[in-house]
C-alpha cells in the first residue's frame, strides 16, 4: 500500500514541544494545565501518538494558541522578505509605448493583493479591464 501524504494526519509533535519550551513549561506542568497525561504528551511530542481533536483542543487552550497553530505547525513558513532583481520583475508596455507597468507583488497573491509601479510619459495612456466588484485601488503619484 502506498502512502499518500495528502491524507496523512498532521504531526503536531515538534510544534507542541516548541510551544511548551518557549513557555518554560515542563511536561508535568503542561500535563496538569491541559488535563493530558505526561506519557501521552511525551508520545505526541515524539510523533509516536496521533492526538484526538479533543486532546489538541485542550493543549491549544493550555498553551493559549489557536487550535490551527498546533495542526498547521509542521508546514514550512514562507519567507518574510523576498528579494527580486529589477530585471526579473515582470513589466508590460502600453501599445503606444508611453506607459510601463511593473508588477511588484508575488504571483501567489494575485487576485487578493496586487501592487504595481506605473511610469507614464507625457501623453501616455493606459487602458485596462475593470477590477472585480468590491476591489479597492490605492494610488500614489510621484512627479518631478
Distance CA 79, CA 144 (A): 35
Closest CA to 119 of 101, 104, 97: 101
Cα dihedral 48, 52, 57, 60, rounded to 10, equals 10
pTM of the model: 0.48
5-72 CATH: 1.10.260.40
Give the long-range contacts of residues 64-69, CB within 8 A, separation 24 or more: 65/19, 69/15, 69/19
Q: How much is the mean pLDDT over the chain?
A: 84
pLDDT digits (tens, 9 = 90+) for 18-47: 999 999 999 999 999 999 999 999 999 999
Per-residue pLDDT 10s for the chain (144 aa) are: 555 555 567 788 999 999 999 999 999 999 999 999 999 999 999 999 989 999 999 999 999 998 888 887 655 455 667 777 878 888 889 999 999 988 888 777 777 778 888 999 999 988 888 877 877 888 888 877
Asked if 41 and 27 touch (Cβ cutoff 8 Å), the reply is yes
Distance CA 30, CA 70 (A): 15
User: Would strands 116-120 and 99-103 be described as parallel, antiparallel, or unpaired?
Assistant: antiparallel
Question: From the CB of residue 71, how many other CB atoms can be counted at a distance below 10 Å?
Answer: 17
Amino acid at each position: 500500500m502506498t502512502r499518500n501524504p495528502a491524507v496523512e494526519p498532521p504531526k503536531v509533535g515538534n510544534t507542541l514541544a516548541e510551544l511548551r519550551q518557549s513557555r518554560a513549561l515542563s511536561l508535568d506542568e503542561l500535563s496538569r494545565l491541559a488535563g493530558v497525561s505526561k506519557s501521552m504528551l511525551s508520545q505526541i511530542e515524539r510523533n509516536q501518538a496521533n492526538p484526538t481533536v479533543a486532546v489538541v483542543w485542550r493543549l491549544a487552550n493550555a498553551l493559549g494558541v489557536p487550535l490551527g497553530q498546533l495542526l498547521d505547525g509542521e508546514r514550512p513558513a514562507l519567507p518574510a522578505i523576498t528579494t527580486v532583481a529589477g530585471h526579473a520583475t515582470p513589466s508590460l508596455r502600453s501599445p503606444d509605448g508611453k506607459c510601463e507597468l511593473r508588477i511588484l507583488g508575488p504571483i501567489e497573491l494575485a487576485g487578493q493583493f496586487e501592487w504595481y509601479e506605473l511610469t507614464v510619459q507625457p501623453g501616455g495612456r493606459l487602458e485596462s479591464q475593470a477590477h472585480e466588484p468590491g476591489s479597492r485601488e490605492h494610488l500614489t503619484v510621484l512627479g518631478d
